[in-house]
Amino acid sequence: MVTGTTGTAETTGTPATGTLERARALAATVTDPELPMLTLVDLGVLGEVAVDETGTVVVALTPTYSGCPAMATMRDDLVRTLGEAGLRARVRVVLDPPWSSDRITPAGRAALAAAGISPPGPAPRHDGPVPLTLAPVRRRVTCPRCGSADTGLTSEFGSTACRALYRCGTCLEPFDHVKEI
């Protein structure tokens, strides 16, 4: 099995581009365990992929929610996927800047909608105190199934940390909306 850097890397002091490219390409295929229509790239959690001095691939990963249990699975899936290709890998946690739903790529948003999940709108940004929102949340959410704009919030908290529950007033189907954070 090929692991880590090659002879070329040793002479130039930088990892072989072949290894890096392969590692990047493989890491980009790993999907979110809870939203399997999204790769970690689509979700915006996959950061820099590098090779350290020992030849281990180091993949940077940004957690979505502080308590999201899917993070452990993403980490294991990354290490396993690279390991199956003969690359020794570890994951480096990157906390800053924090993940935002704004980081979900256009391709990721399209994949969510195609899977019946409403993608998030722009996330609010507050540098100072966060204003209280007493009125019900008003988002312009369209039903991912029938396209109707007549939708209503059932609950701000859903089956995973990142989702709210909605219901369509036209086709009457319930659906998930990825929350703005």
Partner 1 sequence: MSHEDSVYDGLLVDDAHWAFGGSFEDPLAGVDTTVPEGADPTALGTYALMLGDDALVMAQRLAEWCSRAPDLEEDVALANVALDLLGQARLLLARAAAADPGLVPALPDGSPVPPEDRLAFFRDDHAFRNVRLVELPRGDFAETMARLLLFSTWRLALLGRLRGSRDAVLAAVAAKGCAEVTYHRDLAARWCVTLAGGTEESRRRLVAGFEGLWPWWGELVESHPVEAAVAADGVGVDPTTLREECEGVLDQVMTACDLTRPDVPSREGTGGGRGRDGRHTEELSRLLTEMQVVARAHPEGTW
Binding range to partner 1, per CB under 8 A, among 5-13, 19-27, 97-105, 110-118: 97-105
Among 145, 154, 167, 173, binds partner 1 (CB under 8 A): 154
Cα→Cα distances 178→14, 21, 74, 90, 158, Å: 40, 31, 18, 29, 9
> Which of residues 83 and 119 has its CB atom nearest to partner 1 in the complex?
83
Q: Is the peptide bond before 97 cis (omega within 30 degrees of 0)?
A: yes
Contact set for partner 1, span 36-95 (CB under 8 A): 58, 60, 63, 65-70, 72-73, 75-77, 80, 90-95
Query: What is the dihedral sign for C-alpha 103, 105, 106, 112?
Result: negative
Amino acid identity of residue 44, one-letter, is G
Q: How many other C-beta atoms can be found within 10 angstroms of the C-beta atom of residue 20?
A: 17
> Which of residues 11 and 132 has its CB atom nearest to partner 1 in the complex?
132
> Which of residues 13 and 131 has its CB atom nearest to partner 1 in the complex?
131
172 Cβ neighbours under 8 A, 6+ residues apart: none
Q: Which residues bind to partner 1, rule: CB under 8 A?
A: 33, 58, 60, 63, 65-70, 72-73, 75-77, 80, 90-100, 123, 126, 128-130, 132-134, 136-137, 154-159, 161, 165, 179, 181
